[in-house]
Amino acid sequence: MECPKCHKSIDDDDIFCPNCDTRLRPDKNTSIMKRFKKQNKPLNVEIVGEKKHKLSEGKLKLILITVAVVLLVVLVVLIVVNIISGKGENTAESISEYIGVDVAKAQKKLDMHFKDESVFQGVNNALNFDYIIESDDSVNVDGINYPEWAALVTVDDEERIQTVKYSNFKVLKNNANGEKKSKAINLDKFEQGAKWSGLSDAIDLEYYGIVWSKDTKNYIYRYWYENDAGDDQPVVLNVTFDTDNKYLYYSSTLIYPEYL
């Protein structure tokens, strides 16, 4: 056998030429290693980026859906609470549209049933009415149970509706005299025809009741203040409007203990 480089004679088993050290055949171990050597391919950044983008997009959609559901639930709760809290006033106002109408006819038109007495003895003892619709839920005011609200109806001798009163007893839950004010409320600056919103802002109280009659709508407020003698002075404030909700007049009644 001849070396391909130096052309000198060599043995058939030689791997290297003994004359010029030229490798005569490949190393079998090296060839095998090359075959099984791990190939470090570059990471496909585009695919990874796309997966991350899809993952982030999915999380964002999930967050948005969750927020939307929470907001919807809150909105539904607020609507339900608003409807429930306004049920008594809405009931009374609906009845007031039948002032001057026979009470039996009004009940039929309204699909309501009026009772001639309250299930709460405190209402029967303290308030004047001929018919009543009231809340099933109660509230305790100074140790006496009242309905949360009541719609009170008075009629004339011919059973025609004369007045309708809405009473919100929840306003008196913490104090039968209502909310405390720093002084007596004075509305003398308001002229006839003023809007209800302006007077309401000046009063800055939640009204205890409303009375509808043929020609007027009267808002009733209860509050108290400390007078010059240092005594608590309860007051009932009546603010009267016409049927177009234009201001007419107001009156304040000081309340004193009936029995001592």
- How does pLDDT run across 169-186, given as a tens digit for each residue? 999 999 999 999 999 999
Mean predicted lDDT score pLDDT of the chain: 85
pLDDT at 100: 97
pLDDT at 76: 47
Q: What is the mean pLDDT of residues 85-106?
A: 92
Contacts 24+ apart (CB under 8 A), 244-247: 245/195, 245/196, 245/217, 246/192, 246/193, 246/194, 246/195, 247/190, 247/191, 247/192, 247/193, 247/194, 247/195, 247/196, 247/199
Enumerate the domain spans of the chain: 175-260
pLDDT at 247: 98
Tell me the C-alpha distance between 209 and 195, whole Å: 18
- How does pLDDT run across 50-63, given as a tens digit for each residue? 666 666 777 777 77
The overall pTM is greater than 0.85: no
pLDDT at 82: 41
The span from the first CA to the last CA of the chain, in angstroms, equals 141
Tell me the C-alpha distance between 7 and 130, whole Å: 136
Closest CA to 135 of 94, 167, 96: 167
pLDDT-derived band at 6 (thresholds 50, 70, 90) equals: confident
Structure tokens at 196: 């209800």
pLDDT at 36: 47
Whether the Cβ atoms of residue 208 and residue 222 lie closer than 8 Å to each other: yes
- How does pLDDT run across 224-246, given as a tens digit for each residue? 999 999 999 999 999 999 999 99
Q: Give phi and psi for 81, each to the nearest 5.
A: -60, -40
Q: Which of 59-68, 128-137, 195-204 has the lowest mean pLDDT?
A: 59-68
Structure tokens at 39: 């190939």
